[in-house]
Amino acid sequence: MLLKTSHLLLRPFEEWMGRLIINHPLEFFKQLDLQRTNEWPHSGLKALMPLYLEELHHNKSHLGFGPWAIFDRNHSYVIGDAGFKGAPSEEGALEIGYSIVPEERGKGYATEAVSALCQWAFELNNVTEVRAECDRDNIPSQRVLEHNQFSFHDADQDIFIYKRQIREART
């Protein structure tokens, strides 16, 4: 499974990829023939990966409902990661998150990745809403969501909650 955009390739983490990120991150770059960066993988991705791999091991259909690696269009380097925090709820809701390596921020890559992932999710029959949380002070992240038709929904302390609901009719 691969999503292609104007500037990016997005690939969901398969089990073997996740195990490399946890145990041998340098080998991940070698096996995928990528330029190495010290900015990735970040600690949040490494912390999330065991939980995702456990879920994926028990339910292969959950591929795509966890983290995705974001590569440049030529598949030569990692730009960051984005993805969902689990399979859709009974109500059809997903939560999305994203992180771009510092040297690639401000180039529209997070906006492009979130757009591609939302489009992929909304093409599934059981997804009706994508949610996101970001820090009150993280204006660039808020702009990413707003550029992707997310609407401010609520605030919890210093966290803003955004939602995007499916608008197109399904046949």
pLDDT by residue for the chain (171 residues), tens only, comes to 899 999 999 999 999 999 999 999 999 999 999 999 999 999 999 999 999 999 999 999 999 999 999 999 988 999 999 999 999 999 999 999 999 999 999 999 999 999 999 999 999 878 999 999 999 999 999 999 999 999 999 999 999 999 999 865 444
Spell out the domain ranges in the chain. Answer: 3-165
Cβ(61)–Cβ(20) below 8 Å: no
The model's pTM: 0.93
The tokens describing 36, both together, are 């190495």
Q: Are 117 and 82 in contact (CB under 8 A)?
A: yes
88: preceding bond cis by omega (within 30 degrees) = no
Look at residue 124 in the predicted model and tell me its pLDDT.
Answer: 87
- pLDDT of the residue at 21: 94
- Residue 1: the pLDDT is 86
Query: What CATH topology corresponds to 3-165?
Result: Aminopeptidase (3.40.630)
